[in-house]
């Protein structure tokens, strides 16, 4: 199945390159926008007339390739361009057969997708992503609807332009993202997804293309932070607390804890035979030994529990330093709650066994029945307000960078008029719901943890 998917991706990528080359003949005989005329310049007929309107195609050595130039989908500014960017080869017949039925869209630009300042984004960067998106239709033998083709052209080109703008702005300011944050974000995105390769295929992405988007998100955050636009004042905290505090009223005590999970045995696989009693006993003994080793480490003076949790916990909360939020006794497994509510704030338990494995628990807060005080919710309120500012700031930042930077988008003239909106958009084949980085929530007891995840500990 994986081999078939890779072959299909290769065919569609070559076919999408053919889309920009194979349609130029008809463009030569009609008045064309600059990108279409640029494509016509590569044809034998009408070349001289097209060259007057088309941007000149510089040699590969003369081009400045930026963050959008891809090697396996992604590379940093200044890295060597991918082999694809050197030019498109003639498509093989099987590649043309893999291309979805024509939807009548205008010819794609040839050579260069856009110019951002002095940096050119090659069309190979566009084709790499476009082939993945279109491949979902090809695999099902479906025609790409005109609305979807236009949406792909627009969204992919804007995405690559924005990534380059952010790379240039970060470089200009002498700041950049933290690679550790990137690793954390990628781990969070994988959380709860059993078949990552299948998930990527459904979304029409690769690890590299998602990484490029994550890098852009982190650069946005770093830039906005440097401008002081994400700071949350005490007045803002108190105002938000006053608005939501009644939502945090309870008739029983609550606690907040972090934990390190050591699972018993390998994760279950669909269709796999049930383990024998001997296997289960062996796995439990091994997990207990590992849990005791971790416990011995975290109780040493000066050791950061959160850092060890990030490094050694197998629970979904590992990227959050093991923090599972605020909970009442009945929200957790009895063994877990008994241990957690029996600790003093700051204490760490010995390994506690539940059906999920062994847990080393650190109590980080405890409150009586009633309304939670502001100090119990401050971190969550601050995070939510910061995320709200980040969401608004991202939009404003991208708009400002486009105003302040000379951007020539050769894809824009191929889009045509905005289609009339329909009441219900046609779903893309296999498209899953969009997902984000998995930020915490002040409205939930354990911040986005589902019933079947170990951090719920039921």
Domain segments of the chain as ranges? 2-226, 252-368+445-456
Phi-psi label, residue 192: left if phi above 0, alpha if psi -120 to 50, beta otherwise:
left
Q: How far apart are CA 355 and CA 263, in angstroms?
A: 9
pLDDT of residue 106: 81
Q: Residue 358's beta-bridge partner residues? A: 262, 353
> H or E element: which one contains 413?
none
* Model pTM score: 0.63
pLDDT of residue 193: 81
Q: Where are the beta strands (DSSP E) in 189-297?
A: 249-250, 254-262
pLDDT of residue 192: 66
pLDDT of residue 436: 35
> H or E element: which one contains 288?
helix 277-298
Long-range contacts of 264-270 (CB under 8 A, 24+ apart): 264/356, 264/357, 264/358
The dihedrals phi and psi of 65, each to the nearest 5 degrees, come to -95, 135
- CATH number for the 252-368+445-456 domain, one of 3.10.50.40, 1.10.10.10, 3.90.1510.10, 1.10.540.10? 3.10.50.40
Any idea what the Cα angle at residue 38 is, between residues 32 and 44, rounded to 5°? 100
The dihedrals phi and psi of 121, each to the nearest 5 degrees, come to -100, 120
Of 219, 210, 207, the residue nearest 181 (C-alpha)? 219
pLDDT digits (tens, 9 = 90+) for 3-15: 444 445 554 555 5
pLDDT of residue 194: 78
Q: Residue 326's beta-bridge partner residues? A: 256
Q: How far apart are CA 182 and CA 203, in angstroms?
A: 20
With a CB cutoff of 8 Å and minimum separation 6, the contacts of 156 are 126, 129, 130, 133
Residues of the chain with confidence (pLDDT) below 70: 1-105, 192, 420-458
Q: How far apart are CA 174 and CA 187, in angstroms?
A: 27
pLDDT of residue 421: 66
Q: How far apart are CA 141 and CA 121, in angstroms?
A: 31
List the 357-367 sheet strands across, edge first.
323-328, 254-262, 357-367, 352-354
pLDDT of residue 14: 52
Continuous H helices in 344-442: 374-404
Q: How far apart are CA 222 and CA 83, in angstroms?
A: 32
């Amino acid at each position: 199945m994986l081999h078939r998917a890779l072959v299909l991706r290769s065919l569609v990528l070559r076919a999408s390159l053919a889309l920009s080359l194979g349609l130029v003949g008809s463009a030569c005989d009609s008045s064309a926008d600059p990108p279409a005329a640029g494509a016509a310049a590569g044809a034998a007929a009408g070349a001289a007339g097209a060259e007057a309107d088309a941007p000149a195609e510089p040699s590969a050595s003369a081009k400045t390739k930026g963050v959008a130039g891809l090697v396996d989908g992604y590379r940093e500014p200044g890295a060597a361009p991918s082999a694809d960017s050197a030019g498109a080869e003639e498509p093989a017949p099987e590649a043309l057969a893999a291309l979805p039925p024509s939807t009548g869209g205008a010819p794609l630009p040839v050579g260069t997708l856009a110019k951002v300042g002095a940096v050119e984004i090659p069309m190979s960067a566009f084709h790499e992503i476009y082939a993945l998106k279109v491949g979902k239709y090809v695999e099902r033998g479906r025609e790409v609807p005109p609305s979807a083709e236009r949406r792909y052209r627009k969204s992919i080109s804007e995405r690559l332009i924005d990534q380059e703008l952010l790379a240039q702005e970060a470089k200009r300011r002498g700041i950049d993202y933290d690679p550790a944050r990137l690793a954390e974000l990628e781990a969070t995105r994988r959380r709860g997804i059993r078949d990552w390769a299948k998930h990527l295929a459904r979304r029409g992405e690769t690890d590299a293309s998602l990484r490029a988007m994550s890098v852009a998100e982190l650069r946005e955050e770093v830039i906005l932070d440097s401008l002081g636009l994400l700071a949350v004042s005490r007045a803002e905290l108190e105002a938000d607390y006053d608005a939501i505090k009644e939502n945090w009223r309870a008739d029983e005590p609550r606690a907040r804890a972090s934990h390190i999970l050591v699972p018993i045995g390998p994760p279950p696989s669909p269709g796999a035979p049930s383990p024998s009693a001997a296997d289960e006993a062996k796995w439990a003994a091994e997990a207990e030994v590992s849990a005791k080793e971790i416990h011995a480490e975290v109780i040493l003076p000066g050791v950061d529990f959160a850092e060890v949790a990030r490094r050694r916990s197998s629970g979904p909360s590992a990227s959050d330093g093991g923090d599972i939020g605020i909970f009442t006794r009945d929200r957790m497994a009895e063994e877990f709650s008994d241990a957690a509510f029996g600790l003093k704030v700051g204490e760490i338990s010995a390994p506690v066994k539940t059906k999920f494995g062994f847990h080393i628990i650190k109590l980080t807060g405890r409150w009586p029945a009633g309304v939670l005080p502001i100090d119990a919710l401050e971190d969550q309120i601050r995070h939510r307000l910061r995320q709200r500012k980040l969401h608004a700031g991202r939009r404003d930042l991208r708009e400002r960078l486009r105003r302040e930077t000379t951007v020539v988008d050769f894809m824009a003239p191929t889009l045509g008029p905005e289609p009339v909106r329909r009441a219900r958009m046609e779903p893309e084949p296999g498209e899953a719901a969009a997902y984000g980085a998995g930020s915490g929530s002040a409205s939930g007891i354990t911040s986005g943890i589902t019933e079947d995840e170990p951090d719920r500990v039921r």
